Structure 1
Amino acid sequence: MHFDFDAGKYAVYVWPAFALTAAAFVWMIADSLASARRWRREAERLQARRQVQGETQGEAGKP
């Protein structure tokens, strides 16, 4: 398979558009991964907090 990368007189518009599109995709992927990490940390923090509260309440109910 042979790709023709010659955009002719429109290359000045085509290649920067491709570069901007690639940069936008990289930005969106990086932002999504960072957001997922933040949500995972928050979920783990809340889960640990619930576990500690459950243990504390369990001890308070003992005679």
Structure 2
Amino acid sequence: MPPHGDQHDDLPRAAALTDGTRDDLTNARLEQENARPRHAVDFRATVDQAIGALTAAHRLAPTAGFEVAA
């Protein structure tokens, strides 16, 4: 959570329905919140693959491959 308020202040809040399920508004907000971490994980995998390619192509230690990529 950001230090200064909620990053989703522009999104309407929706409470759980009486049967314990969430409404469409809540589901949409949660999907939006989860999109950023998913993107970060996907991006990290791509970076790790690039570092692996560098270490293999140049016969480097993994740490050295990271330094070349940075």
- TM-score, structure 2 as length reference: 0.48
**Alpha-carbon distance between aligned partners in 2 of 1:31 and 1:25, rounded to the nearest angstrom:** 10
Partner in structure 1 of residue 47 of structure 2: 48
Which residue pairs with 1:58 in the alignment?
57
Q: Which has the greater radius of gyration? A: 1
Count of residues in Structure 1 that have an aligned counterpart in Structure 2: 40
Mapping of 1:1-63 within 5 angstroms?
24-60=23-59
Q: Answer with 48-57 or 32-41: which moved more.
A: 32-41
Percent identity (aligned) = 12
The residue that corresponds to 2:10 in the other structure is: none
Structure 1 gap ranges (5+): 1-19
Residues 24-63 of structure 1 deviation map (CA, whole Å, 9 limit, x = unaligned): 22211111112222211100000001101110111018xx
- Residues of 1 paired with 2:44 and 2:52: CA distance? 12
RMSD: 2.1
- The structure richer in helix per residue is 1
| Structure with higher RCO (Cα < 8 A, 6+ apart) | 2
